[in-house]
Amino acid sequence: MQFPENQGGINHSGRSFRDLGGLILERTGTIELAGASGVVNAFIRRADNGVEMTFPAANADLYAGTVFTPKPRSIGNGVPSPASAAWYGSDAMTIQNVLAIGFRDVFTSNTFSRIRVENLSFDANPGEGRYAFKVEGSYDSSSFLNLHVWPYGTAGTSAITGDNTLGYRRGGALQFIGQNDGTEIDGLFAAYYDNNLYLGGSSTKVGRAWVEHFKTDGGNVGVIVENAYDIQIAQLQIFGQDKPLRINGGRGSSLSISQLHIENPGNGGVRIESGNLFLGTATSRGITQGYVLEVLDPETRLSGRWFDDSPASSDVGYAPAGWTSEKLAGFEFIVTQRGGATSRPDGTYVWVGNVIGNPQITPDAAGFLRLPTTGEFFTVVGGQYMSNIIGGYGGRRITLLFTDTRQAVYHADTVNLKPNSKGDFLPNPGSILELIYDGANSAWREISRTL
């Protein structure tokens, strides 16, 4: 099916088809949208040689064909535009109030202008490594509003037999890369895809987005931010998912989220491979394994406040070697159910940067107490004496709360601890020792003690 354009020139007017009702589209066909054309108020289902697709589908291969294909604009009489002009393609096309079920692909747009997609719902199965709805480089105030992606066919596929009657879909749901010139993206909902939402490129701005997946293993990812320079999200909610949010924007890139909520994922909360994360307020709960926040690049910067209400079976966070406190100057964790800081065999440590909630640390068998990268107040747990504190830098002040009489600080045995003239520190449960690091002499010096 082709929706033709007016042949009057580059800034042509097309045709809009309204109130189509039920529309059957062959798996080998597509709806070709030229400039200023559109489809409004339609229910589109796939067919094969005139036979409508039935649900639940027997296997994933039955999802086939493409619903909408934007057509590069012409210079008139059907003659294609020069390559430079064709970039801007189907100028001012419209898709509004449409439900499409049973296809492999729904829509792919590459550097087209003034597109308006509003109230589009679909059930597609693009397959591994592909996205059912893909927009790259839209220009001149395009808008994508209220996109609802859900397995309406209520069918599993042969590759995932027995998963859930909701029917998980292979591949990705929504992908936006490099939006420009005031493009508006808002009201996104995607569920039960391997990856529900992908954001990349530069200057992409999103209003509200909600993603979910009840299968909390198998590697599905709620939101991927990748190769991205400036991504801004007003409100992001992630429920379930094996991996809720993965960020690999590249060093120096920024992801800003005004409100973030993560609940009941399978494997951790946010993983940052590269790039900066600037939050307004983040909340999380039900993270039972992995890290609430995992940072792998020492150049990553964080800001904002994070409230976590997850059980003690998960770790607050992970920091890379070489990460310094100035990268966290405006960031604060507030935890309610645990502190949770332990050393790792590879020499890196669970990170508890700026945690409110008395993070806990334990001396190792040699008496070395290894501090997280940031933080000032720590609870010492375990029954081992201390001979060395690792993690000091010039001027760093720490306060240690002791919980056991065996956590002694013996003057004669210490490597870099310099108790004051009162000598050995023999704590009781509840004792406090305050220290400051003397960078010039590589030693911790006592400020005060409370037994």
pLDDT digit string (tens) for 374-396?
667 778 887 788 888 888 888 88
Q: Which residue has the tokens 């609940």?
A: 263
- Report the alpha-carbon distance of residue 435 to residue 386 in Å, rounded: 14
- Report the alpha-carbon distance of residue 166 to residue 442 in Å, rounded: 60
DSSP single-letter state for residue 345: T
Is the Cα torsion angle 43, 47, 51, 54 positive or negative in sign?
A: negative
Write the single-letter amino acid at 310.
Answer: S
In this prediction the pTM is: 0.73
The model's confidence at residue 205, banded by pLDDT at 50, 70 and 90, is confident
Q: Judge contact between 355 and 335, C-beta under 8 A.
A: yes
What does residue 327 show for φ and ψ, rounded to 5 degrees?
A: -70, -10
pLDDT tens for each residue of 105-136: 999 887 777 888 999 999 999 988 899 999 88
Point out the least confidently predicted range of 49-58, 140-149, 283-292.
Answer: 49-58
3-state DSSP percent of the chain in helix, strand and coil, to 5: 5, 50, 45
- Report the alpha-carbon distance of residue 149 to residue 30 in Å, rounded: 20
CA angle 328, 246, 234 (to 5 degrees): 70
Q: Which domains does the chain have, with CATH numbers?
A: 2-322 (2.160.20), 358-451 (2.60.120)
CA angle 62, 65, 68 (to 5 degrees): 140
Tokens of 110: 């590459």
Point out the least confidently predicted range of 1-10, 38-47, 64-73, 187-196.
Answer: 1-10
- Report the alpha-carbon distance of residue 288 to residue 217 in Å, rounded: 13
What does residue 181 show for φ and ψ, rounded to 5 degrees?
A: 55, 50
Q: Judge contact between 195 and 152, C-beta under 8 A.
A: no
DSSP single-letter state for residue 443: E
Point out the least confidently predicted range of 44-53, 89-98, 207-216, 418-427.
Answer: 418-427
Tokens of 167: 């029917």
